[in-house]
Amino acid sequence: MPTWWKNFVTSFTPETAPIYAAAPTVKVQMLDVIPAPNQRRGEAEISSPDDVSSAKKPNLFDKITRAAGSSTTFFAMLAILGVWVLLGIIFGPTDTWQIILQNTSSIQVYVTDILLIRQSSNAGRSMMTTLAELQSRNKTCERLLRQLPSCSWMETHKEKPKQLLVNGRPIEEEIESLYMINGRQTWFQKTWSKTCHVVSKSVGSVWAFMFYWIGIVVWIFLGIPVQFSNEWQLYINTITALSLTLTSVFLQNIQQQQEDNLEKSLEYALKVDAKVEYRLREITEDTKPNPIHEIPLRPLSRSERAIARFAAIMGSGLGVLISLVALIAWLAVGPILKFDDNWVLIIGTFTGLVGFIDGFVLRNIYAIDETSVALQFRALMYSDSRLLEVLNIPVPLEPVKKLSLSERISLATSALCGHRYASVGAVLVVVGLLVTASILRWSETGQLLCNTPTMIAEGFLLLVLIQAHNFSNMERGRDFNGLLKRRLLLSSYVSDLEDQKH
C-alpha cells in the first residue's frame, strides 16, 4: 500500500491505539574507544533510527488544527467580525444581516468543535507519550544506579539526607530562573500571553457563569411584552452567535498556547533526563537499550465508549467529511425550497444541534484526559520519589493551592457538565427538539426552537470549557514544576558521582 494512501486513510481514521514509548537510548563514546568522525571523546549521541514510540507524525489535518489555534487565526476572526459590524452600521441591523452571522457562526463553531476535539486528542496523546518516555528512562536510571555500590540504600543512608544545590543555588531559586525553557518572547508574545491569561480567568469564573444566565433571564422577561415573537428569538440568537464565535476561537487559541508551553517544558525535562542517563552509562559502560513503557487504555463504561467513539469520529477526517456532506445537501435543497427563510435556518439548525452535543462531549473527554494525565504524572512522581529516597535525597513537594468558594462552585459546575450522563442527556434533548420541530412541520418557529436553546447552552458550555482549561493549566504547571525539581536534583547527584564499576 503506498505511503500517501496510508497517510490519507490515517487522517480519516480515529486514533485508538495504546500509548507506548521507549526513550531514545543515549549512546556514549567511551574514552578508550576511537571516537567517530566529528565527535569528541565522551560526547553523548542520541539514537534515532531505532526509537520506539506510538507518536505519529502530524498529517495535514493536524497541521490545520494547529494553525487554527494560532493568534493569527484569532485576529483574522476579529477582523471578519469587524467587517460584519461595519456592514450593520452602514445598512442597518436587518434580519438578513443577523441571519448571515448566525449561519456563518454556526458553521464556524461546528468546525471549531471538530478541531477542538482533534486538538484535545492530539495534546493528550502527545503528553502521555512523553510521560511514557520519561518512565522508560526512569527504569533505565534505576537499573544503572543499582549497579553502583555507592548508590545502594545501605551506603546512601549512612549520612544525613543530602541537601543538594543545582548550579550552586537552592532548587527553588533555580526553578524560578528557568525562563529559557520557553525561550525569549517578543513584546507582543508576552503581552498577548498575559492578556489571554487575564481574559480566560475572568471568562472561566463563576461570576461569568452568573452574568451569562442573568442575561438570559432578562431576555426571557423581555419576551413577555412581544409575545415571544420570532424577532425576539432572532436577537438572542445573534448575540449568542457572536459570543460563540469569540469564545470558541479564543478557547482554541489558549489551548494551543498551553500545548506549546507544555511541549517546550517537557522537552527541557527530557534533555535533563538524557544527561542523567548519559552520565550513568558513562560510569557503568552499560549499553542496554531503554525499555518500552506502555500506558494501557483506560477501561470505559458502555456510555463512555459511545461518547469516545463519537468524539473519535468527529475529531477525525470523518467528522470533516460529514460536515461537507451536510453542507452540500443543504446547498442542493436550496432551489427546491426556493432559498426561503426556512432553508436559510436549516444549516444553523443542523450545526446547532450537533454542536450542542459536541459541547458536552468535549467537556467529557477533557475530564477523561485530565484524569488520565494526572494519574500518569502521579505515577511518575512515585517513581521519581522512590529513586530519590534510595539516594537519600529529600523529595520536593509542591504546595497544593486552597481553592476559594467561587472556584469550588465553578469546578463543581464544570464536573457536572463533564459527566457522561450529561452527554447522554444532551442526545435526549436533541431528540426531543427534533420531535417538536417535526410536529411544527419544520416551520420557522420550529427551527428557532431547535436553534435558540441549543445555542444558549453551547455558549455556556464554552465558558465551562475555558474554566476547565484554566484548572488544567494550573495543575499541569504544578506537575511540571515538581517533575523538573526532581530531575534537576537527580542530575546534580549523578554529575558528582565518581567513575566506578561494580
pLDDT in tens, 228-254: 887 888 888 889 989 999 999 999 999
pLDDT in tens, 438-480: 898 888 778 878 888 888 998 999 999 999 888 888 888 888 8
Q: pLDDT confidence of 497, banded at 50, 70, 90?
A: confident
Query: So what's the pLDDT on residue 54?
Result: 65
Q: How far apart are CA 482 and CA 480, in angstroms?
A: 5
Q: What angle (nearest 5°) sits at the alpha carbon of residue 246, between those of residues 244 and 252?
A: 95
pLDDT at residue 33 is higher than 50: no
pLDDT in tens, 327-362: 888 889 888 888 877 787 788 788 888 888 988 998
Instruction: Give me the mean pLDDT over the 18-31 stretch.
Output: 74
**Please, which residues have CB within 8 angstroms of residue 149's CB and are 6 or more apart in sequence?**
155, 500, 502
pLDDT in tens, 273-317: 898 899 899 888 888 889 989 888 778 788 888 888 888 888 777
Query: So what's the pLDDT on residue 245?
Result: 92
Q: pLDDT confidence of 40, banded at 50, 70, 90?
A: very low
Taking only Cα atoms into account, the Rg of the chain, rounded to an integer number of angstroms, comes to 27
**Please, which residues have CB within 8 angstroms of residue 369's CB and are 6 or more apart in sequence?**
120, 123, 124
Query: So what's the pLDDT on residue 76?
Result: 94
* 120: helix, strand or coil: helix
Q: How far apart are CA 478 and CA 500, in angstroms?
A: 36
pLDDT at residue 38 is higher than 50: no
Where are any strands of DSSP class E within 31-186?
Answer: 44-46, 52-53
Q: What angle (nearest 5°) sits at the alpha carbon of residue 273, between those of residues 271 and 276?
A: 115
Query: So what's the pLDDT on residue 220?
Result: 92
Query: So what's the pLDDT on residue 218?
Result: 94
Phi first, then psi: give them for residue 20, nearest 5 degrees: -150, 160
Q: Which range, of 125-129, 147-151, 219-223, 441-445, averages the lowest pLDDT?
A: 441-445
Query: So what's the pLDDT on residue 150?
Result: 83
pLDDT at residue 178 is higher than 60: no
Q: pLDDT confidence of 215, banded at 50, 70, 90?
A: very high
H-helix or E-strand spanning residue 20? strand 19-22
Average pLDDT, the chain: 82
Query: So what's the pLDDT on residue 184?
Result: 62
Task: Judge whether 241 and 455 are in contact, CB under 8 Å.
Answer: yes
Query: So what's the pLDDT on residue 31?
Result: 46
Query: So what's the pLDDT on residue 232?
Result: 86
More confident residue, 178 or 216: 216
Provide, for the chain, the percentages of residues in helix, strand and coil under a 3-state DSSP scheme, each rounded to the nearest 5: 70, 5, 25
% of the chain beyond a pLDDT of 70: 85
Q: How many helices (H) and strands (E) does the chain have?
A: 15, 5
Query: So what's the pLDDT on residue 22?
Result: 83
Q: Which range, of 46-50, 70-74, 172-176, averages the lowest pLDDT?
A: 46-50
